[in-house]
Structure 1
């Protein structure tokens, strides 16, 4: 039986990943700031981290924060993994971290470089945005009477369970380096995605496409975060909305 540590194991991705790994027969340790018995703040490091990685065969590193600290967390995790003799470190990253100059993306890319240079056996998977992230975004954007969207931007959302399944497959295998990206099954414009969300939630909002400025916006507008050649996901945004809100978009 393989012992696998999942960092960020109580999160949107970490939770279904842990379930899938257990179903595959692995012993799973869940690490997060509040998950007993492996409650560890990776940014701070400390003795709790050493205990969490002791005897672990593989680590799947899902813990992340747009508020910063990912690089320091990765440094602490890698050092502890090396001391414990961990054989395989799997890291989940984001499609476009090397093409869209967003601060959070730069941090994810920096962590990729740390993993690659760690001396550990490693695997890196990049995925497109999760369905849930778009729902959270549209929850915010739909609060005003007019829903303002970034002009000229599309997205390729993927089901988080499909990413979890792929990570579980990779964690159960040998280190594979940088593997093929995982993208959702369809690329839709932001107005198309927003209309589906509004219909599913029973809201009415006029849409306003707003041109933005800056290099990060240009990266998104140019499709740097998309993987059209790796549209391997099956679950669509419309299907996610139906499961989440109980109504097919366009059927209210």
Structure 2
């Protein structure tokens, strides 16, 4: 029986598909623009092609995500799977039930939909990816000042390969419902991460710490997005950067 992966062209999805194929799984990569022999066509925004994509698979790994439309897409996916024994694996974010960010609130609602769907499921929350932190700092190269801004809070970035390994374990083990969170091997200040980025990339700028108003920043400042008791043993942010630069 095969494994369908939504969001298969994303940072995490590509790695999950590779690892599943390496371990002998028959993988269907869901895409709005499929490649011959590599993927199947389907659009979670409209539901087109989704029933055919999920037909006959034993596991669906739901990685597709977007700033808007996550709840509707997850509802369509659950409806297309229908009742049965298909194992639904979902990747969420540490702190989605504590941080009042709209994107996180939607992820928490997706979790609730899956938990009440009647399907066998596994929900894995993870901290922010190394790639997200890199993009956050890298985009600031366009600022017309020799500065990089970093919030005055900590982060626990994790490598997508380490999350992918954990997801493959869940697929092989079967439904586990809500499993322990997973975070990166280090909890570090955003200013420290920004300095590592500058050092590794050879850019010469000053890191400026900023405090932001509102409940969202307060939750991040309080560490509601961290899981130090569930730190992985995988690549650190500096090791990740060393391979990029």
TM-score bin, normalised by smaller chain: over 0.9
In structure 1, distance between residues paired with 2:100 and 2:128: 16
| 8 A contact 1:56–1:86 mirrored in 2 | no
**Superposed CA offset, 1:127-185 (max 9, x none):** 011101100000123432221221x2110001100100110110122210000111000
What's 2:23 paired with?
A: 24
In structure 1, distance between residues paired with 2:235 and 2:66: 26
Q: After the TM superposition, which residues 145-156 of structure 1 pair with which residues of structure 2 at under 5 Å, given as runs?
A: 145=145, 146-150=147-151, 152-156=152-156
What's 1:212 paired with?
A: 212
In structure 2, distance between residues paired with 1:233 and 1:74: 31
Q: After the TM superposition, which residues 2-41 of structure 1 pair with which residues of structure 2 at under 5 Å, given as runs?
A: 2-36=1-35, 37-41=39-43
Give TM-score scaled by structure 2 length: 0.95
What's 1:77 paired with?
A: 77
Do the aligned partners of residues 53 and 75 (structure 1) sit closer, same or farther apart at CA in structure 2, a change above 3 Å counting? same
Q: How many residues align?
A: 240
Q: Secondary structure at the match of 1:112?
A: helix
What's 1:113 paired with?
A: 112
Could you tell me which runs of 5 or more consecutive residues in structure 1 were left unpaired when the two chains were aligned.
246-252
What's 2:232 paired with?
A: 232
Q: Secondary structure at the match of 1:207?
A: strand
| 8 A contact 1:17–1:168 mirrored in 2 | yes
Shift of 1:224: 0.5
In structure 1, distance between residues paired with 2:41 and 2:8: 11
What's 1:250 paired with?
A: none
In structure 2, distance between residues paired with 1:232 and 1:19: 21
Q: RMSD across aligned C-alpha pairs, in angstroms?
A: 1.2
Shift of 1:233: 3.5
Q: Secondary structure at the match of 2:208?
A: strand
Q: Secondary structure at the match of 1:10?
A: coil
**Superposed CA offset, 1:99-152 (max 9, x none):** 1111100010000000101110000000011101100000123432221221x2
Give TM-score scaled by structure 1 length: 0.92
- 2:208 maps to 1:183: no
Shift of 1:86: 4.8
Do the aligned partners of residues 93 and 16 (structure 1) sit closer, same or farther apart at CA in structure 2, a change above 3 Å counting? same
Do the aligned partners of residues 105 and 147 (structure 1) sit closer, same or farther apart at CA in structure 2, a change above 3 Å counting? same
Shift of 1:4: 0.3
Shift of 1:50: 1.0
- 2:123 maps to 1:124: yes
Q: Secondary structure at the match of 1:31?
A: strand
Could you tell me which runs of 5 or more consecutive residues in structure 2 were left unpaired when the two chains were aligned.
none
**Superposed CA offset, 1:53-82 (max 9, x none):** 11011000000012x000000000001111
In structure 2, distance between residues paired with 1:200 and 1:206: 14
In structure 2, distance between residues paired with 1:38 and 1:165: 23
Q: Which runs of 4+ in 1 moved over 3 A?
A: none
What's 2:62 paired with?
A: 61
